[in-house]
Amino acid sequence: MSIRHGLLALLERGPRYGSQLRTEFESRTGSTWPLNVGQVYTTLSRLERDGMVVQDGEDEAGHSLYAITDSGRVELRSWFENPVDRTSPARDELAIKLAMAVGAPGVDIRDVIQSQRRHTVKAMQDYTRLKAQALTAVEKNGAQERDDIAWLLVLEQLIFQIEAEARWLDHCESRLIRLSSTAPAAGPEPASPGAAAGAAGMGARAGAGAEGAARHRP
């Protein structure tokens, strides 16, 4: 997450001091990624070192003000113009956990999936409630209130991401059920760590449940 570019974007609207930048950053993003003042000042001094901001006097209360420079503006333009890199995905704990749960002794991967699903759907409920509030705020304050709109966009991004996770969990479960119903009865130590291991990793209980469901279906 680029605090650096976030600060440059706020400074483009005029000189600001550190804690003001922190407040504005958080109201834009609904405190989704809280900053501490220390991070703000560390980032500002790096930006200053790189010639992208300069100290620009003080306000009446004696706060040191920072202003964006031309090279800061060039950097900011280039940030808006270039896509965010998605080719080297961040480590995802859930993906790693499910990968490890495949074939893990004593672990019912269907239970792992379900407990995550409950948590994921719960988080979606929470975000959706916040979204309903944000929508009301946008309707009430009109489209002029930039912070309300920015916060709504951030919330919707969280909802889309978490929805993708919920769908992926459903997909994992149905794939595992399908694999376990087609795989030959695998021993406790499958020879290959491929699909057969995934099926065996379902555990006896989940496997029986899946077969039961298939048999009971009209």
CB of 48 to another protein, least distance (A): 26
CB of 7 to another protein, least distance (A): 18
Nearer Cβ to another protein, position 17 or 127?
127
Contact set with another protein (CB under 8 A): 30-34, 114-115, 117-118, 120-122, 124-130, 132, 135, 159, 163, 166-167, 170, 173-174, 209, 212-213, 216-218
> Which residues have C-beta within 8 Å of that of residue 214, sequence separation ≥ 6?
181
List the one residue out of 183, 198, 29, 14 whose CA is nearest residue 102: 198
Q: Do 174 and 141 touch, CB atoms closer than 8 A?
A: no
List the one residue out of 140, 217, 206, 158 whose CA is nearest residue 179: 206
For residues 205 and 200, what is the distance between their CA atoms, to the nearest angstrom?
11
CB of 203 to another protein, least distance (A): 15
Q: Determine the residue type at 65.
A: L
Nearer Cβ to another protein, position 58 or 111?
111
Quick one: three-class SS letters along 106-143?
CCCHHHHHHHHHHHHHHHHHHHHHHHHHHHHHHHHHCC
CB of 161 to another protein, least distance (A): 12
Nearer Cβ to another protein, position 17 or 25?
25
For residues 103 and 95, what is the distance between their CA atoms, to the nearest angstrom?
15
Nearer Cβ to another protein, position 72 or 203?
203
Tokens found for residue 5: 């570019």
Nearer Cβ to another protein, position 98 or 210?
210
Nearer Cβ to another protein, position 184 or 218?
218
CB of 197 to another protein, least distance (A): 23
CB of 12 to another protein, least distance (A): 25
Question: What angle is formed at CA 58 by the lines to CA 57 and CA 60, rounded to 5 degrees?
Answer: 145
